[in-house]
Homo-oligomer: A and B are copies of this chain.
Amino acid sequence: MTGPRVAGVGMTPFGKHESRTARDLFAAAAQEAIADAGVEHAAVEEVRFGNFMGEFAEGQGHMGPLAAEAAGVHAPSTRIESACASSGAAVRQGVMLVQSGQADVVLVGGAERMTNLSTADATEALAAAADAVWEVRPGMTFPGAYALMTQAYFAQYGGTSEDLAHIAVKNHANAVENDLAQFQRAIDVEDALEAPTVCSPFGLYDCSPISDGASAAVLVSEEYAAEHDLDAPVAITGSGQGTDSLALQARVSLTQTTATERAAAAAYEEAGIGPRDVDVAEVHDCFTHAEVLALEGLGFYDPGTAIEAAREGETTADGDLPVNLSGGLKAKGHPVGATGSAQISELTKLLEGRHVNSDAVSDSPGTVGLTHNAGGTVASAVVHVLEVVA
């Protein structure tokens, strides 16, 4: 048993999709994933769909049925909402369905429409991921919350805006050739440092953009893949989720992400690996500093050291541990409910040698990739371990 196989993936370009609804976007991603998997629509037994702000953007809840309709399948379909980790959590529900033998073929994914909202309305919608009583009412926004966590980190460990700029530069560089990315252009450290301030220490290039987009994956059991002779060399060998207090004030620390640590511990245990075994990772860089927190929470770096690793280039495409080869949330874009399953889509292609940045990754059996998707100020975290098994 190696775990559920990623039989097929699909993803719309991330960016501005004038006048396309979330369901339209998901239809494109889901049809691509089903075709890529080579399974019949009728074979899909369950659908788990991530969406965060449909109520705000389109007045639309209850998107489970819409997702199934968009995919052209008649299976039970449930919307999973875990803020920006919505589709990571949807993938996890799908993984558990296949792992447990309750389904052989599951469609997972997510979609988000955001650019039809004004910046103020999008900021308000995103704030629903924080604690409405203890954080949002006093005026907290997400750039503010992450900036607070960053300032605490700088105070505890040191670090500068210039250090963070290296992360933005790296992720933009990774996106240059990725046709699905929102920003296919390189920036340099000066661009980042000279950009308008959003919320100190964050400038514009420290922040992921407002995006529209959808992503999907078809997960199948190992037995199903074998019986139907599917070309599905990547298995999900570990899946973990962690939950922390929603409000920052209730956390033990502002520089440590307990939910990520819990999710990683569970995923590593299931996969039978440790952080040193990971060859490539897609992590949740909604802000540059979020990538620092992720790399430490995942155990790749000791607390307080990942910011230096960024400065030293250890996580670039030709570094020891390539991180966010897709361009990350920063440059690929961040249609929030689609981000977690987009990580699965991009990482699967990277591991299968069919991504524009696959040169940075081996597609040989034993190569290990990891995805990390976070919700809110990491009150929710979902980690998946993917491995080339054939």
Contact = CB atoms under 8 A, between A and B. Distances in A.
Contacts of A58: 132-133
Contacts of A131: 60, 66
A243 interface: yes
Interface stretch (A74-82, A195-203, A355-363): A74-82
B69 A128 contact: no
A354 interface: no
A129 interface: yes
A319 interface: no
A50 B387 CA distance: 33
Given A93-B93, A96-B97, A246-B69, A128 B80 contact: no
Nearest to A58: B132
Nearest to A68: B243
Given A79-B80, A101-B100, A62 B93 contact: no
Given A93-B78, A99-B102, A100-B102, A244 B62 contact: no
Copies of this subunit: 2
A380 interface: yes
Given A68-B243, A74-B243, A76-B241, A52 B61 contact: yes
A376 interface: yes
A62 B245 contact: no
B21 A75 contact: no
